[in-house]
Amino acid sequence: MAVAATDRAAGPDQFSMAALGRGEVHRLRERVRVHADLITSDDDRFAGRVEVHARGQRFIQELRHASGHPRRPFDDGMAGMKQRVALGIATSAAHVTGLEVALADLATMPRLRALGDQLRRLPAR
């Protein structure tokens, strides 16, 4: 929470060891308390609620169904972008396009062999 609040973002960079080691994050972490709500339904298990108490005021932001939740599925553009990011993390940029094409063709199974070939050519990370 402290990294996300400091950076005003909650992406992969905010969950890195480097982000957790920054001084400004440590200073803010001393002022942040996280309370888990373990009594939730399956529908709300990915929900989030942030309460900020400062100078006698309270700000509350709650999100039950974030983008990507089954009740708010990604549109094709967002799903494709998320897939590209995940593939980019898993392999080199040079291989992303070939994997995207192979994954898009999975529904037509003849291209499954091409996907296997692409995966076998990937360099180890």
What are the pLDDT digits (tens) for 44-83?
777 777 888 888 999 888 888 878 888 888 888 888 888 8
Share of the chain above pLDDT 70, in %: 90
Confidence of residue 107 (pLDDT cuts 50, 70, 90): low
Burial label, 99 (beta-carbon count in 10 A; 0-12, 13-18, 19+): buried
The pTM assigned to this predicted structure is 0.42
What is the distance between the alpha carbons of residues 65 and 73, in angstroms, rounded to a whole number? 9
Confidence of residue 111 (pLDDT cuts 50, 70, 90): low
Distance, first Cα to last Cα, the chain? 29
pLDDT(114) > 80: no
Identify the residue whose tokens are 């932001």. 61
Is 6:28 a contact under the CB 8 Å cutoff? yes
DSSP 15-67: GSHHHHT-HHHHHHHTT----------GGGTT-EEEEEEETTEEEEEEESS-T
What are the pLDDT digits (tens) for 79-101?
888 888 888 888 887 888 888 88
Length of the chain: 125
Mean pLDDT of 114-124: 77
DSSP 71-92: TSPPPHHHHHHHHHHHHHHHS-
User: pLDDT at position 57, please?
Assistant: 92
User: pLDDT at position 125, please?
Assistant: 64
Q: What is the average pLDDT value for the chain, to the nearest integer? A: 81
